[in-house]
Structure formats: C-alpha cells, structure tokens
Amino acid sequence: MLGRVNHVAIAVTDLAAATECYSGTLGAKVSSPMALPEHGVTVVFVELPNTKIELLEPLGETSPIRAFLDKNPSGGIHHICYEVEDIKAARAHLTGQGARVLGDGEPRIGAHGKPVLFLHPKDFFGTLIELEQV
C-alpha cells in the first residue's frame, strides 16, 4: 500500500531562519514560502534528490504546529508523509485495521495540491503519518 517517502516535516519557530540554514549552510534548493490557512501552517520545501523536507511554521494562534512547538520549543520532526496510489482505498484498509484518521476522516488538499490524510500517532508508535495520493 505505501509508496515512497514523499517528505519528512520539521516544525520550526522561525521559517526564515530555517530556510536560510537549509539554503545557505546546507546548500539545498528551497521553495518559496506558501501559506496554507486551511492547515494552519506556512511551509517551504527543501528539495533533495530522493525526497523532500517540509519546514512548517505555525500560521495563526490555532495552528496545530503551535501546540507541537509549545511541547517542543526547539522544534523537531513533526510527521512523515508516504505516497499512496488511492487515498480512499488506503483509508478503508487502514480503518478496517483499526487505525484512526484525524479530523473528519475526509481527504483534504495538501501543499502539493493533492489529497492528504493524517493518521493518529498513537496507532503508529508515536509517529504522525501523512498519506498523500500520487
């Protein structure tokens, strides 16, 4: 069911500083910032030959990233995103196995313009999982 790793997301307190670190210090290609109000974040993508790193900064007081940063003031890995061929079939399989989908369970459009779902971290050894349909 799982395809390749699409990206690893890192929550940061200062997106501009994190972008400069990845582009300047590490020499990576970094996208322009993109505000995603429906997800409560501003993101940039660090492009690597085999995957991407998504840097997330809270957008607004109700951002789920703000709560994560309250618990992890230095930031850190927030989630891992795997690609799936059919997100609704993946959801049906996973919920049939007892996994919990966050939110209302319906796919939403993510940063890449494709349907995404998030799976409860307690069902996956403390790791928040994002699924993105390719």
Q: Which residues are catalytic?
A: 130
Give the C-alpha separation, 11 to 65, whole Å. 7
Question: Measured between alpha carbons, how far is 29 from 3 in angstroms, rounded to an integer?
Answer: 24
86: Cβ–Cβ under 8 A, 6 or more apart, which residues?
A: 133
User: What does DSSP assign to residue 80?
Assistant: E
Evaluate the CA torsion angle 84, 88, 92, 98 in order and state its sign.
Answer: positive
CB atoms within 10 A of CB 29: 10
| CA 114/CA 109 separation, integer angstroms | 5
Token pair 């349909």 is found at 133
